[in-house]
Structure 1
Amino acid sequence: MVKKMIFLVMALLCSSMFMAAECTSYTKKGNQVIFNCKDGSKLSLTINSNAVVKIWYDKSGKLTRSNPSFAVVNDKLENMGEVTVNEETSAYEIFTSKLRIRINKNPMQLQIFDKYQKLIFSDFKDQGHVSDAKAVKAYKVLRNDEQFFGLGEKTGTLNRRGKNYKMWNSDKPCYSVTEDPIAKSIPFFMSSYRYGIFLDNTYKSEFKFGTESQDYYSFEAPDGAFVYYFIYGKDYKEIQQQYIALTGQPIMPPKWALGFAQSRGLYTKENQALEVAAEFRKRKIPIDIIYQDIGWTQNLQDFEWRKGNYTDPKGMLKKLKANGFKMIVSQDPVISKKDNKQYLEANKLGYFVKDVRTDKAYEMPWPWGGNCGVVDFTLPAVADWWGKYQQKPLDDGISGFWTDMGEPAWSNEEDTDRLNMKHHLGMHDEIHNVFGLTWDKVVKEQFEKRNPNKRIFQMTRSAYAGLQRYTFGWTNDSGNGNDVLDGWAQMENQVAVGISAGLGGIPFWTTDISGYCGEITDYPAMAELYTRWMQFGVFCPLSRAHHEGDNAVEPWMFGEVAEKNTKAAIELKYQLFPYLYTYSRKAHDTGLPITRGLFMEYPNDTEAAKIDNQFIFGEELLVAPVLKKGERVKRVYLPDGEWIDFNDKKTEYLGGQTVAYKAPLNTIPIFVKKASIIPMMPVMQYIHEKKDYPVFFHIFPNYEDEKTSFTLYEDEGENHDYLKDIFSKTNITCTTKAAGYDIEITPEDKGFRQSDKRNFVLSILTEQKPKSVLVNGKEITFLAVDALDIEKDTTKIQWSWDEKGSKLLIKIPDNRTKININVNN
């Protein structure tokens, strides 16, 4: 009898939990409409634009939240004026120029259609919003062909369908290829049905993409305001651009940040830094940055150079700078308790996160430094205090920080004691996922306050949606800690993790080249994995080699062949700098990633959506790094269109097929889309070592009577003038004619000019030597290839023919005037 009563009680609880709400009325104010339900709950719709709707469900009907959004900085995307609600017998409807939004009354059900009345997004039956003792949950209709991409830095396949994910920033060194969660939480995803969802909730939210049913997917949060944004777009790019409009534009890195960087867990010594830097220059391997890891400080985190390890840090930094190097040092968000006057100071000022049980500073066991106080970056007074400390090494001459272990470290799901931490803005279950974000915000704002008109370099491990406003990222401690030589699967999944990071609004990121984890005891055996990781890693917008402990991962450690091949890969990165920097500006303007999944550029190519281990770099280049041990022939899927082998600049492939591409250890499979122009520069030992370098425009012509074009972007590279639109652009357009080409170069200078004496060199892939070349109507001089003086002679206009490469070379001084070129075959 007792069991029967318990069953009846549980049944009643379940039935009330899933009891469908009935919508009975609405109120409105401006662009917000609040629908009132019979059970006291409310559903608020704010029409942020013709394509973006803020949805807020509250079981209590209060529609209040403890903190404003940490992520959204602009929800007034368009002036929508007063929203009109059409009431029908069974539903309410709101129309925008792009959407038809319908609220069915009984049971309440939200549905969104496009302007052609096609259903895009719908509550699942009467369970669109369900509240129980554990969470608020949203169930949405799942179509049998629907695919999902996003959620930021996550492992596994790019397509999230059929998988579950949690948002809980976690310290997971040597994470597996399916492990979840890891270090960043970005609750934003996109559907192949042309919409995106951003769940603006900082608690431990969960996403279940069809794992419970083939008929619905769901997302949920255990506490806090249940607010999410519906974002409609004609394609993935438009959806992501609107997400960035909500959460803020990515900052641009200083130009040198796009060069190569070298790091190691025990890079913590002055002599070592100078020796490593000198060795790179001696071997002529391009590099811009040397890192210093956590042990550089005397105490965590007093920003004092460790005694004994550094005798003259200012002198060290001066020598590095003179040789073209920048130094980046680590920050941790804690202060060690033992023998540290900074701890006493912070504790006295009340700057630590409190333990709710004692109302004293929470003691955090830390991997280094013993017990620590956790700095409360949500407390406004902390910002200036922290800024004064971090300015000390900046005044010495360092160039930026990497903010490490901002989960904070060891605060994973199993570490429930951390939930006793009380921050100024709330308990830890609310603040956990934004702890790193609030830290990065302080670091950036204080840097800019004390170093005016200078771009910050800050690279972070743990953060939340909106981090692009403050910082860049790296994909955490990857690799195989059990067997460093067996890290191939981890390296391969780094491609998808990085692409996914870009989808979360992190266009500037790097993998740890070599993988962070694992003891390297056999360097010759590691050489192939290191080479292939480098060949992938140079196409990360930021490129850093890094490994744990004292495991050296400089290129020469792995033998002559590996050094030769990795040096060539790094040199290619430097040559592509003008292309990469142009897309860096586009990333700032639009939020679109630089490293893109094939599905983003080719949304209608069903095969492209299945590819996790290739990417589009910018828009014109496809990179398919070799990611398997012993592989010398790479199977490469080429999307719709026509593709040219970027390595030989000649061989053409028809897209829509998988090709077998020979890729020995010295080869990276790279393809350029037909009808493209790729700007490049000569190899330099560091970015812009030479100010007056020539720019090579590699032109892959279109078909007859069709054009190809590219607009090169340049600016000063280290200040904030780009925010004032002080830059220069050079547009180059090539039209293919029946008997040659017409080329137009159009400069646009807005307060900046890269050089007064440099050349443009046009390299045109063509099968026959032209009869003549005219510039602004005048025939120009022909020279043999080896007679062209490209770097020193910036006065003469000349052309040549490279018979071996089947290409035409035209050298033109960049005088910042409009130029017309006619090539006659």
Structure 2
Amino acid sequence: MKEVSTAKPKRLLKKFGLATLLPTLLPTFLAAAMQPAFAESSQGTNPETGRSYQSHQLRDDKLVIETSDSQVTLTPLNSGALEVHYQREGMKQLPSFARAQLEADVQAQLRVSQDTLRYALGDLTAVIHKSPFAIEYLRNGKNLLAEEHGFFANETMRGFRFALQEQEKLIGGGQRVLGMDRRGHRLPLYNKAHYGYSTESNQMYFGLPAVMSSNKYILLFDNSATGTMDLGASEQDVMQFEAVAGRSAYIVVAGNTYPKLIENYVDVTGRQPMPPRWALGNFASRFGYRTEDQVRETVKAFREEDFPLDALVLDLYWFGPDIKGHMGNLAWDTNAFPKPVEMMAELKEQGINTILVTEPFVLSTAERWDNAVASNALAKNLAGKPKQFDFYFGNTGLIDVFSEDGRDWFWNIYKDLKDQGVAGWWGDLGEPEVHPSDTVHAIGMADEIHNAYGHRWAQMLYDNEKADSPEARPFIMMRAGFPGSQRFGMIPWTGDVARGWGGLQPQVELSLQMGLLGFGYTHSDLGGFADGESFDREPYIRWLQYGAFQPVYRPHAQGHIAPEPVFHDRETRDITRDFIKLRYRLLPYNYTLAFENSQTGMPLMRPLFFEDESNLALMDYKEAYLWGNDFLVAPVMDESDQVTVELPGGTWFDYWNDNQYAGDIARVDVSLKTIPVLVRAGAFIPTVGDMKNTREYSSKELRLDYYAHDSVDRSAGYVYEDDGVTANAFGKGLYEKLMFAGERTESGIEFRFDREGKGYSGAPQKRSIELVLHNWRQEPSSISAGGDIFKLVSAEKSLSNNTAWFNKRSKTLHVKFNWTEKHQALTVTL
């Protein structure tokens, strides 16, 4: 870290009557100015806060400023991110939950003048004004964000105030149904269940004390306590965070583009590790399977109806016959599941993974209650005894995941179940759903750490899973957490949503909001969870169609209407089967999205405003989204045979029939069998053949659909592949990247095919490629690769290696060849 003083030494010496000593003292003064622990003192009181600058020091990689009422520590996290921590004597501070514990390599530079400290990280600069004391933030020399009042604290509240710019839009706050721009709202920060929500909700399962601004910054309040984010609701131009306790710190992240902003953010809060490949498959799930026989009957129905299946989820009936009275048993109800180990082994033999629900509550009537008390596993009351309270499921205690005893007790249960064959964990009610304020945890009271409970629970699972099986990828699905929970592999869902159109309509908004702040696998109970008075088949079908382009495919519901499509009428089965099979065929594309997320934090579902960052109006659009880079998906949200889709520029092809759309909007005709799915001009879409589940996945035969268009001269894509199970396979080099590119020439198109990586267990030695060129209007004069001339055949069934077939009716050219070399080229000449 480098510090440079821009104050004039001669003027300062004259001020203190030392001008005559200048020749003697100046060298010493300048040398001291460059010392890493140099401190400068001055007085400058902010008349509104009463806060005055007194001195500053550089301590290792941090800038520490002493003011009249607090110590302010600025810690660089990367070239575009900075933590600011206000600490006041006697004020309790909690550890950071949001920050990943990573070493930061930042060449920060401090410049000191009479009026300011300028702390530059590279992309982000903090300007600390001495009088009045305030901090503002610049990106590329331009104002990005500024404290208005800055830090405030009294006996019952602490927080921060920032100034908002006039046209600024704010996305964030986590799961809410309020529209994409949350400016003008006052958001409670207390993770709380909202059973049966539909088209509006101000407070839900998974809140986030963070916002993303249209000015391309993220502001994260690293405080887990009960509080509120006021985004210009009370005062139009002020963003205020307030909490009853907790860590008095915030993190500012900047980026020149939204993708870069997200990358800088997850560099600070942690990247989501890749899930096992089976997590991208189809799940059987309901509330809930009551017996082993019912499990087997369900799996049999999927097989007989030709539906792929990768996982089966067991809700709370696995440990008790009734909804109430058994929570906390967390051991098999052997009357209903007499041979669970054999059952899970049987499922595994078919390529189906078992996931169990668990909750953090132990009822006083549960078989494990006495053991939990004796093991010091439960949170306490004010008298130091296990805290007991009543809620829907019975009289209960709450496991203290903030205590070592609580974590060890809980993990021992998981470890035993894992050894029996459980493949994944579902953590439910982890807000926690009921959490009395007088509950005492190892590090604080309930209201201090409430919003970090699910976060700490996920960390306990992830850390122990990695210690127990370091080469494996855990599956951890949770209903609540905190910024940074994604680094523990957390897969959130949007809670107990109502069935019907009203439940479907907010789901894109919810997933986009969460994905932009690190949670790229946020998904919904497909078809809706909460039972209504009647069942409407059409929104159920539409929801499951949308699910094919959602991070996790998991229909789940309560009541008398089955969530699994295999138990519905024939037309429903046929329609949903097609979409589920399509999801499996798209595994090369979808798995590559998972890889990109693990590297840069880019969500799988992306807002359209990423395509036109200057269009602020597009930030409000939540009726459609990008699935990765090349698909634009618009779920059908009501009874309609035509959907109007806003376009972010460029040309787009209808995935079902190759119709082309350009301009500002597309009016897409739909039937019950289709939803609007558009493909970017110039895109390569990789697919494989049908399979029973992801265990059968192979890219030995790979189809590449290339969408040719005059407006796109060059385009490229790639597929990331590994064995689907090994942790950090990319970091170990155990992967392949299959890269492909196309470039238009005056005479046709030249394609390049390249591979990188050491390979992985089970990787094909060669691949049979079917390259399909869409929007191809004439039979080519020649096709060549490596000196080989391809033969044109008259029918698709005649395709074999080094042959091609032109389909005049669909305007597609099919080219088939073997990809054996690391670098290959293919030329299509008009």
Normalized against structure 2, the TM-score is what?
0.89
CA contact (8 A) 1:579 1:679 kept: yes
- Structure 1's 751 and 690: CA in aligned 2 closer, same or farther, altered over 3 A? closer
Give the corresponding residue for 2:494: 476
Please give the per-residue CA displacement for 1:384-423, whole angstroms capped at 9, x wherever unaligned.
4333321333233231111111122234xxxxxx111111
- Among residues 778, 781, 799, which one is paired with 1:768 in the alignment? 778
- Among residues 49, 61, 82, which one is paired with 2:78 in the alignment? 49
Aligned-residue CA RMSD (Å): 2.3
* Larger displacement relative to structure 2 (529-538 or 552-561): 552-561
CA deviation after TM superposition for structure 1 residue 672, in Å: 1.1
User: Is 2:314 the counterpart of 1:307?
Assistant: no
SS of 1:217's equivalent?
A: strand
Residues 139-154 of structure 1: matches in 2 within 5 Å? 139-154=161-176
Give the corresponding residue for 2:227: 205
Give the corresponding residue for 1:596: 606
CA deviation after TM superposition for structure 1 residue 16, in Å: 12
Give the corresponding residue for 1:28: 58
Please give the per-residue CA displacement for 1:374-393, whole angstroms capped at 9, x wherever unaligned.
11112223434333321333
Please give the per-residue CA displacement for 1:412-470, whole angstroms capped at 9, x wherever unaligned.
xxxxxx11111112211122111111111122222233334221111111111111122
User: Is 2:793 the counterpart of 1:803?
Assistant: no
- Among residues 137, 147, 150, which one is paired with 1:123 in the alignment? 147
SS of 2:616's equivalent?
A: coil
- Among residues 731, 741, 749, which one is paired with 1:741 in the alignment? 749
- Among residues 721, 730, 754, which one is paired with 2:738 in the alignment? 730
Q: Which amino acid aligns with 1:407?
A: E
- Structure 1's 684 and 705: CA in aligned 2 closer, same or farther, altered over 3 A? closer
* Larger displacement relative to structure 2 (370-379 or 64-73): 64-73
Give me the whole-angstrom Cα distance separating, in 1, the residues matched to 2:649 and 2:50. Answer: 47
User: Is 2:666 the counterpart of 1:659?
Assistant: yes
Give me the whole-angstrom Cα distance separating, in 1, the residues matched to 2:751 and 2:778. Answer: 17
CA contact (8 A) 2:162 2:239 kept: yes
Give me the whole-angstrom Cα distance separating, in 2, the residues matched to 1:626 and 1:361. Answer: 50
Give me the whole-angstrom Cα distance separating, in 1, the residues matched to 2:679 and 2:579. Answer: 17
CA deviation after TM superposition for structure 1 residue 346, in Å: 1.7
Give me the whole-angstrom Cα distance separating, in 1, the residues matched to 2:158 and 2:601. Answer: 30
SS of 1:489's equivalent?
A: helix
Q: Which amino acid aligns with 1:460?
A: M
Please give the per-residue CA displacement for 1:188-239, whole angstroms capped at 9, x wherever unaligned.
2211112111111111232111112232222222222310111111022111
Give the corresponding residue for 1:438: 456
- Structure 1's 100 and 437: CA in aligned 2 closer, same or farther, altered over 3 A? closer
- Among residues 73, 77, 96, which one is paired with 1:69 in the alignment? 96
Identity of aligned residues (%): 24
Give me the whole-angstrom Cα distance separating, in 2, the residues matched to 1:816 and 1:448. Answer: 37
Q: Which amino acid aligns with 1:34?
A: V
Give me the whole-angstrom Cα distance separating, in 2, the residues matched to 1:699 and 1:75. Answer: 41
SS of 2:448's equivalent?
A: helix
User: Is 2:623 the counterpart of 1:613?
Assistant: yes
Q: Which amino acid aligns with 2:814?
A: L
Give me the whole-angstrom Cα distance separating, in 2, the residues matched to 1:531 and 1:764. Answer: 31
- Structure 1's 335 and 215: CA in aligned 2 closer, same or farther, altered over 3 A? closer
CA deviation after TM superposition for structure 1 residue 329, in Å: 1.1
CA deviation after TM superposition for structure 1 residue 633, in Å: 0.7
User: Is 2:341 the counterpart of 1:333?
Assistant: no
Give the corresponding residue for 2:827: 822
Give the corresponding residue for 2:385: 360
Give me the whole-angstrom Cα distance separating, in 1, the residues matched to 2:817 and 2:529. Answer: 46
Give me the whole-angstrom Cα distance separating, in 1, the residues matched to 2:410 and 2:539. Answer: 40
CA contact (8 A) 1:153 1:504 kept: no
Give the corresponding residue for 2:646: 637
Give me the whole-angstrom Cα distance separating, in 2, the residues matched to 1:432 and 1:520. Answer: 34
SS of 1:354's equivalent?
A: coil
Give me the whole-angstrom Cα distance separating, in 2, the residues matched to 1:406 and 1:97. Answer: 39
- Among residues 261, 268, 271, which one is paired with 1:246 in the alignment? 268
- Among residues 690, 704, 707, which one is paired with 2:714 in the alignment? 707
Give the corresponding residue for 1:271: 293
Give the corresponding residue for 1:498: 511
- Structure 1's 308 and 197: CA in aligned 2 closer, same or farther, altered over 3 A? same
- Structure 1's 54 and 816: CA in aligned 2 closer, same or farther, altered over 3 A? same
CA contact (8 A) 2:328 2:369 kept: no
Give the corresponding residue for 1:37: 67
User: Is 2:492 the counterpart of 1:463?
Assistant: no
* Larger displacement relative to structure 2 (279-288 or 147-156): 147-156
CA deviation after TM superposition for structure 1 residue 671, in Å: 0.9
Residues 171-210 of structure 1: matches in 2 within 5 Å? 171-210=193-232
- Among residues 101, 110, 128, which one is paired with 1:84 in the alignment? 110
* Larger displacement relative to structure 2 (71-80 or 499-508): 71-80
CA deviation after TM superposition for structure 1 residue 18, in Å: 4.7
CA deviation after TM superposition for structure 1 residue 75, in Å: 5.9
- Among residues 367, 373, 387, which one is paired with 1:347 in the alignment? 373
- Among residues 224, 231, 249, which one is paired with 2:253 in the alignment? 231
CA contact (8 A) 1:21 1:106 kept: no
Give the corresponding residue for 1:538: 548
Structure 2 portions without partners, runs of 5+: 1-44, 321-325
Q: Which amino acid aligns with 1:387?
A: W
CA contact (8 A) 1:702 1:735 kept: no
* Larger displacement relative to structure 2 (300-309 or 592-601): 300-309
CA deviation after TM superposition for structure 1 residue 87, in Å: 1.9
CA deviation after TM superposition for structure 1 residue 172, in Å: 1.8
* Larger displacement relative to structure 2 (743-752 or 467-476): 467-476
Give me the whole-angstrom Cα distance separating, in 1, the residues matched to 2:284 and 2:47. Answer: 55
Give me the whole-angstrom Cα distance separating, in 2, the residues matched to 1:199 and 1:674. Answer: 40
SS of 1:513's equivalent?
A: coil
SS of 2:437's equivalent?
A: helix
CA contact (8 A) 1:479 1:514 kept: no
- Structure 1's 651 and 176: CA in aligned 2 closer, same or farther, altered over 3 A? closer
Q: Which amino acid aligns with 1:490?
A: G
Give the corresponding residue for 2:439: 421
Give me the whole-angstrom Cα distance separating, in 2, the residues matched to 1:667 and 1:643. Answer: 17
- Structure 1's 442 and 30: CA in aligned 2 closer, same or farther, altered over 3 A? closer
Normalized against structure 1, the TM-score is what?
0.90
Give me the whole-angstrom Cα distance separating, in 2, the residues matched to 1:757 and 1:19. Answer: 69
- Among residues 582, 585, 602, which one is paired with 2:592 in the alignment? 582
Give me the whole-angstrom Cα distance separating, in 1, the residues matched to 2:766 and 2:292. Answer: 39
SS of 2:542's equivalent?
A: helix
CA contact (8 A) 2:74 2:84 kept: yes
SS of 2:584's equivalent?
A: helix
Please give the per-residue CA displacement for 1:501-558, whole angstroms capped at 9, x wherever unaligned.
2122111232001111014654xxx110101111112211111000024531221444
Give the corresponding residue for 2:41: none
Give the corresponding residue for 1:105: 130
CA contact (8 A) 1:253 1:457 kept: yes
Give the corresponding residue for 1:510: 523
- Structure 1's 47 and 456: CA in aligned 2 closer, same or farther, altered over 3 A? closer
CA contact (8 A) 1:266 1:549 kept: no
Give me the whole-angstrom Cα distance separating, in 2, the residues matched to 1:344 and 1:351. Answer: 10
Give me the whole-angstrom Cα distance separating, in 2, the residues matched to 1:725 and 1:28. Answer: 39
Give me the whole-angstrom Cα distance separating, in 2, the residues matched to 1:179 and 1:239. Answer: 27
Structure 1 portions without partners, runs of 5+: 1-14, 412-417, 791-795
Q: Which amino acid aligns with 2:275?
A: P
SS of 2:814's equivalent?
A: strand
Give me the whole-angstrom Cα distance separating, in 2, the residues matched to 1:29 and 1:552. Answer: 61
CA deviation after TM superposition for structure 1 residue 668, in Å: 1.3
